[in-house]
Amino acid sequence: MQCESDVHILWDASHIWGLMAWRALRALGVPTRLVKAKEIAEGALHGKPGREGGARLLLVPGGSAQRKAALLGRAGRAAVRDFVRRGGNYLGFCGGAGLALSHAREEQGLGLCPWTRAPYAQRFQHLISGHLLAAVSDAATRTGNAPPLPRATISLPVWWPGRFAPGPGAVSTLATSIAPDADLWLADLPLAGVAPHVLETWRVCYGVDLSPEVLAGQPLVICGSCGAGRYLLSYSHLETPESPAANAWLADILRGLGAVAPRAATVPAWHLESTGGETPAPVPALVPASVKDARDAAATARRARAGIAALLDLGVEHHLFFRRTSWLWGWRAGLPGMACNNLLAAFAELEELARRADAAAAPHAALHRLWERVGPRFAELTRLFAEGAEGWLMASRLAATLAPSLPDAVDSRGLAHQRAALFGHPMRGGGLAEELLQLAEDCLYTAQDLADLPPRV
């Protein structure tokens, strides 16, 4: 049974960003419903005839704007536009913000906002992640009924953001970047550890300008009207765990959009723990070949989570991955770190929901039926992925070690082929990881109402 809520979250093509948004709204005390693009195309935002169930706010998380637009299809995109023009509210983070912009072709986005997405004059600006110092403008007081926000400088999280291209139209800029905050990184390089005179040397001698001024003046959060409705678009992930200023502002925004009344204003740490220890354990053979019920789903998800955590630990031991936050591992440039983060987050949430299903007074019939169908496939894929990813990761480490003196010692074509089989395309994803992620996310979507039950002790 799916919950009814004034707030709907688009579930497709979001991965860890969808999980983070869903978790953040639950932490703020905001009831939500996960919806798929197909449901939106069939009218989910307006509810079913003769009953409640429509939305007042559609939240679109980060992830690929292009994939979201394609999955919505012509009917889904039209349904979102109609929803907003008739008085609905749209809140988009990162990829969800890009989806709402105007694009050269109709099928690329929604056109709720007249602004477009800006190309990068220097592509490395897309590689930033962490927190930026930002100026919140007086226009932020006009997001609705929220308490007035004073003009202030606050710390806002960004994770590989796009950029707005300001243009004509009545669009208000609510926050503008000023400079890097202490934890801003460029790919796997922490900028706080680079001395100002080194930045100047890079600019003068090598033509690479990473000075704070490069990031200043970019709109981060904007809002406007579309018909009778409103949109608020943010390239800052205000839903980021342990980002108090951003979280408090998100609570105000939700309140101001008139859809919900948050009961809290902070999003706690999201502990996707690794196995720990000085020496990483070998990546385990993860699951039995047959899974029959929801109790097995919890055990399977627990072992799958442990397997991905062990893989990340192995990468940390060999200086390929590193721990950045409670929920995010960093990675050396070129490695599929985000795919591993996606899997770990999905498996952790699936384990928690399956444990709640175990503790529920009655079996969760929908999850039970789905798991009977997909459990054996999930088990086999997890085993294959764990074995293949461990071998590929260590071969990549060996190739990097030998490259200066023996660049052809490890067959690059073999590495590329195995990576594609495991992780798919570096930008578009795919492979075993994508299939595993889809199975886990289908289970989470099916059992989403379990998130409202108390955790099992």
Tens place of pLDDT per residue across the chain (457 aa): 444 578 999 999 999 999 999 999 999 999 999 999 999 999 999 865 433 557 999 999 999 999 999 999 999 999 999 999 999 999 999 999 999 999 988 889 999 999 999 887 666 778 899 999 999 986 554 444 444 444 589 999 999 999 999 988 899 999 999 999 999 999 999 988 889 899 899 889 998 888 777 788 899 999 999 999 999 999 999 999 999 999 999 999 999 887 677 889 999 999 987 444 344 445 454 444 333 445 588 889 999 999 999 999 999 999 999 999 999 999 998 899 999 999 999 999 999 998 888 777 667 889 889 999 999 999 999 999 999 999 999 999 999 999 999 999 999 999 999 999 999 988 788 999 999 999 999 999 999 998 876 655 4
CB 300 within 8 A of CB 290: no
Distance between CA atoms of 234 and 343, rounded to whole angstroms? 25
**Could you tell me which of 173, 163, 66, 65 has the C-alpha nearest to residue 118?**
163
Distance between CA atoms of 121 and 123, rounded to whole angstroms? 6
Distance between CA atoms of 77 and 67, rounded to whole angstroms? 12
DSSP annotation of 29 reads T
Distance between CA atoms of 59 and 62, rounded to whole angstroms? 10
Residue 446 has φ and ψ, to the nearest 5°, of -65, -35
Distance between CA atoms of 337 and 93, rounded to whole angstroms? 21
Q: Would you state the pLDDT for residue 455?
A: 56
- Can you read off the two tokens belonging to residue 23? 């978790």
Q: Would you state the pLDDT for residue 307?
A: 93
**Could you tell me which of 201, 193, 202, 231 has the C-alpha nearest to residue 85?**
231
Angle at 433 (CA atoms; ends 127, 120), nearest 5 degrees: 20
Distance between CA atoms of 73 and 42, rounded to whole angstroms? 11
Would you call 91 helix, strand, or coil by DSSP? strand
Q: Which helix (H) or strand (E) holds 428?
A: none
Residues 251/67/337/203 CA torsion (nearest 10 deg) = -80
Distance between CA atoms of 410 and 399, rounded to whole angstroms? 6
Q: Which amino acid is at 255?
A: R
**Could you tell me which of 237, 445, 435, 434 has the C-alpha nearest to residue 339?**
434
Residue 129 has φ and ψ, to the nearest 5°, of -155, 150
Residue 176 has φ and ψ, to the nearest 5°, of -130, 135
Q: Would you state the pLDDT for residue 262?
A: 87
Would you call 25 helix, strand, or coil by DSSP? helix
CB 62 within 8 A of CB 94: yes
Asked if the 7-256 domain carries CATH number 3.40.50.880, the reply is yes
Distance between CA atoms of 447 and 299, rounded to whole angstroms? 16
- CA distance to 237, 277, 383, per residue, from 273 (Å): 22, 12, 20
Q: Which helix (H) or strand (E) holds 56?
A: none
Locate the domains of the chain by residue range.
7-256, 294-452
Q: What is the CA radius of gyration of the chain?
A: 22
Would you call 392 helix, strand, or coil by DSSP? helix
Distance between CA atoms of 329 and 336, rounded to whole angstroms? 11
Q: What is the pTM of this model?
A: 0.91
Q: How far is CA 35 from the centre of its chain?
A: 16
- Can you read off the two tokens belonging to residue 303? 């072992």
Would you call 175 helix, strand, or coil by DSSP? strand
